[in-house]
Structure 1
């Protein structure tokens, strides 16, 4: 299925890990899977999940101010607790928590009011479902998958009928998400615990696309996904095709009150610029408290990133990946018509900014956000090997505190030299 153009044009999405794990502030699902928290204590969090201050319109407004064009909410994590009133059993915040209501409908409506695309996260695996640990991966990726009682059947205890029931349950839940909330994007997870054939990925893909043929699917649909999802570190080489970097604001996906290790706005601007400079999107994660409020430290960082993006929007939206490494000391983006190159300067430029290997003549250089024009000249060059473009550093008043962006306007489409120089 061809990729929907809105995705690569979005640049920024917000990931939201929201669930009962916020009650005690423990790692989502993994805390009982690994034995960090006893299973009964983990599930006891159902009693404390209120969503009492959940305001999806406030979320959507914050996400829009951050500059995001889509968001992805954990409709159901590996713990099996659904945030909507599923017809597939009673394990939902609607039926088993004080929240007592569907949390997805308002979310989808609020995002659409802001013009944002609606994404829903859904885990293939369900460590609470009685039929889940009834199969074994034919080639387990690690010992934990093979041996964990929540993930796999014990040797000789496989139950194909139970596994078929589980797939029917999963298909029914995904069908509910597609028909009730019409997500633009489905973000799957948990795929490593079974093979593509065991998951029946082809059939699942057909089910989703029959409901909405424009649904974007991530690579955790394996052969049936549209884009890659590296986590927590900007890749040194961009993945093939569309991709998205999944990054937490602090060190945790969900709300963990002891985790104050928040990345600064400056660091987030760097992550964002480096990601879009390689043609990817940033999916920036926040973890709301159990009452539905996003911690102030995280909200402030989204606001700060959004302020920088708004000032430099021409270098963000409507652009593609910029120069390969080595031409400029920092990331860059390129306008869709390939006639304006945007250079990101993380440190305050001093004296000059250099650009190497540029063959296309430059007509003007200006500071994005202020419009101030900068002097520039080419020095050197021999035959086919272009000289270095030296751009005068902007005055302090024109430099941005977080990252200064220079627009290099070209006399034609970008053409760069990639050779080894004259012998």
Structure 2
């Protein structure tokens, strides 16, 4: 299926990890897996998960102010706790927590009302389901996948019947998500614990696309995924095809009250522009508290990033990857018609900004957001090797506190020299 055009131009999404793990502020599902909490202690959080101040309209408004075009909410993480009233088992926040209601319907409705695309996260794995630890990955990618008691049968005896029941449960829940909430994107996880054949991904993909043919699927659907999802580690080279960098505002996916390592707005602008400059989207993670409200520090960061995006929207939306490394010392984006190049400068330029290897003549340079024009000239060049373009540094009044963007209006489509110079 061709990639949906909306995804390539979305640029920013918000990743929301919300579940019972926010009650104690422990790592989502992983505190159960690691034994940091016993199963009894982990599941005791069900009794105190209220979602008392959960306001999906306020969420959607915040995400829109951040400049996001989509969001992804954890419908069910590895712990097996569903955020909707599922007919497959009873481990959900409707039956088992004081929240007592479906948390997905209002989310989907509020996003659509703000023109945002609806994404739902779902884990293939479920460390609470009685039939999950019934088979073993034929080629385990790590030792845990071969031995962990939440993942594989401890007596070493596989139970294909139990595994078939588990897949029916998983497929039934995914079907509910597709049919009830009509997600634009399904963000799967947990795929490393089984092979593609064991997961039955061809049938699952067919079920999803039969219900909603335009659904975008991430790479954790393996060969049925539409785009790559590097996580936390910023790639130095862009993955092939569409991709998205998953990155948290602090160091945690879900709410953890002791994690105060919040990235600054300046850092987020840097991560964002580096990502879109390589042709990707940024999926920025924030974890609400158990009542459904976000930390003030995270609201501040999202609004700060959104203010920068609003001032520089022409260099964000409707653009693609810019110059390869070495032509300009910073990220850049290129307009869809390939006639406007946007240079991002993280530090205020001192004397001049240089661009190397630019064959296309430059008609005009202006500062995005203020419209101030900057003089430019070319020095050097020989035969087919272009000279260096020098752009006079804008005045201090025209620089941005986080990143200044220069728009180069080209006399034709971008043409770059990539050679080694005259021998």
TM-score bracket relative to the smaller structure = over 0.9
> Are 2:290 and 1:299 equivalent residues in the alignment?
no
> Are 2:119 and 1:119 equivalent residues in the alignment?
yes
Distance 2:94 2:373 in 1: 58
> Are 2:234 and 1:231 equivalent residues in the alignment?
no
Give structure 2 stretches of 5+ with no counterpart.
none
Distance 2:213 2:202 in 1: 14
Normalising by structure 2, we get a TM-score of 1.00
SS in 1 for 2:381: strand
Cα RMSD (Å): 0.5
> Are 2:315 and 1:333 equivalent residues in the alignment?
no
Name the counterpart of 1:174.
174
Give structure 1 stretches of 5+ with no counterpart.
none
> Are 2:85 and 1:88 equivalent residues in the alignment?
no
Matches within 5 A, 1:132-147: 132-147=132-147
Name the counterpart of 1:250.
250
Matches within 5 A, 1:13-92: 13-92=13-92
Distance 1:246 1:379 in 2: 41
Distance 1:422 1:105 in 2: 63
Matches within 5 A, 1:370-385: 370-385=370-385
Matches within 5 A, 1:147-166: 147-154=147-154, 156-166=156-166
In the TM superposition, structure 1's runs of 4+ consecutive aligned residues that sit over 4 Å from their partners are none
Name the counterpart of 1:183.
183
Give 1:155 shift. Answer: 5.0
Give 1:233 shift. Answer: 2.1
Larger deviation, residues 155-164 vs 206-215: 155-164
Distance 1:353 1:241 in 2: 31
Distance 1:287 1:379 in 2: 51
SS in 2 for 1:384: coil
Give 1:380 shift. Answer: 0.3
Name the counterpart of 1:131.
131
Give 1:182 shift. Answer: 0.2
Aligned residues: 423
Map Cα deviations across residues 344-388 of structure 1 (whole Å, 9 max, x no partner): 000011110000000000000000000000000000000010000
Distance 2:153 2:337 in 1: 55
Distance 1:51 1:64 in 2: 22
Distance 1:234 1:132 in 2: 33
SS in 1 for 2:59: helix
Matches within 5 A, 1:95-110: 95-110=95-110
Distance 1:205 1:292 in 2: 31
Map Cα deviations across residues 33-88 of structure 1 (whole Å, 9 max, x no partner): 01111111001000010000000000000000000000000000000000000000
Name the counterpart of 1:347.
347
SS in 1 for 2:133: helix
SS in 1 for 2:138: coil
SS in 2 for 1:358: coil
Give 1:154 shift. Answer: 2.6
Name the counterpart of 1:314.
314
Distance 1:152 1:235 in 2: 33
Name the counterpart of 1:368.
368
